[in-house]
Amino acid sequence: MKKINIAIDGPAGAGKSTISKLLASQLGYIHIDTGAMYRAVGLKVLRNNISPHDSIKIVEILNSTDIKIKLVDGKQLVFLDDEDVTEEIRQPEVSMYASDVSKIREVRERLVKMQQELAKQKGVIMDGRDIGTHVLPNAELKIFLTATAEERAKRRFLELKQKGYDVDYYQLLDEIKKRDQNDMTREFAPLRIAEDAIVIDSTSLSIEEVLQKVLELFYKVVKDEV
């Protein structure tokens, strides 16, 4: 079967990574969570006590920052300066830092080059906020996965509670709304729906139902490509 590239965009907490991982497992594709790269930069900025709005200092430390994506037993691991930070970058505070540093053009340009290089061989599922519009504009299948802010906050709340974090639902809801605003209004490669993307609202859908919809779209595209 011919391999294609799949771009899955959408706001924070819409289920992009979950669906992408399941899809990659079913299709034997490589999943690349681009948001994890921005989280790694955000984590370094946080650790160095730098304001997430101080673009000059952030660009300076970026020059001495090494971010690697490694696939181990089908799982994506994120390394920051040779340290596995896969779990640490999921903390709520890191999420907000990631949203702020992602506005900086130099940060996005560097990470986008890495992402495009990873996708050259095809058979890649990449999720983020500007994949279909900017990173992989020629992806054969583009999905925009969304859900209400309330539903996304609920999902994130349950996920973090399950991992043992002490979190407040209303604080998460506020952070998600702020992140949406940040992502949609940033100057460079903002969050928006690609003209040829198919929108899936997952608010009232189960993970299995979303996955089935995406698989149906995939097989249609692959059939049309043959």
The architecture (CATH level 2) of 1-29+123-216 comes to 3-Layer(aba) Sandwich (3.40)
Instruction: Check whether 64 is labelled as a binding-site residue.
Output: no
Residue intervals in the chain for CATH 3.40.50.300: 1-29+123-216, 35-120
Instruction: Check whether 52 is labelled as a binding-site residue.
Output: no
Q: What would the pLDDT profile of 45-59 be if each residue is shown by its tens digit?
A: 999 999 999 999 999
Instruction: Check whether 16 is labelled as a binding-site residue.
Output: yes
Instruction: Check whether 24 is labelled as a binding-site residue.
Output: no
Q: Which amino acid is at 15?
A: G
Instruction: Check whether 11 is labelled as a binding-site residue.
Output: yes
Instruction: Check whether 17 is labelled as a binding-site residue.
Output: yes
Instruction: Check whether 147 is labelled as a binding-site residue.
Output: no
Instruction: Check whether 18 is labelled as a binding-site residue.
Output: yes
- Strand runs (DSSP E) across the chain, as ranges? 5-9, 30-33, 67-72, 75-80, 83-84, 124-128, 141-146, 198-201
Strand-pairing partners, residue 200, are 145
pTM score: 0.81
Token pair for 171: 């604080």
Instruction: Check whether 12 is labelled as a binding-site residue.
Output: yes
> Using an 8 Å Cβ cutoff, are 199 and 193 in contact?
yes
Label residue 7 exposed, middle or buried (CB < 10 Å: 0-12, 13-18, 19+): buried
Say if domain 35-120 classifies as CATH 3.40.800.10: no
Q: What would the pLDDT profile of 90-137 be if each residue is shown by its tens digit?
A: 888 898 899 899 889 999 999 999 899 989 989 999 999 999 999 999
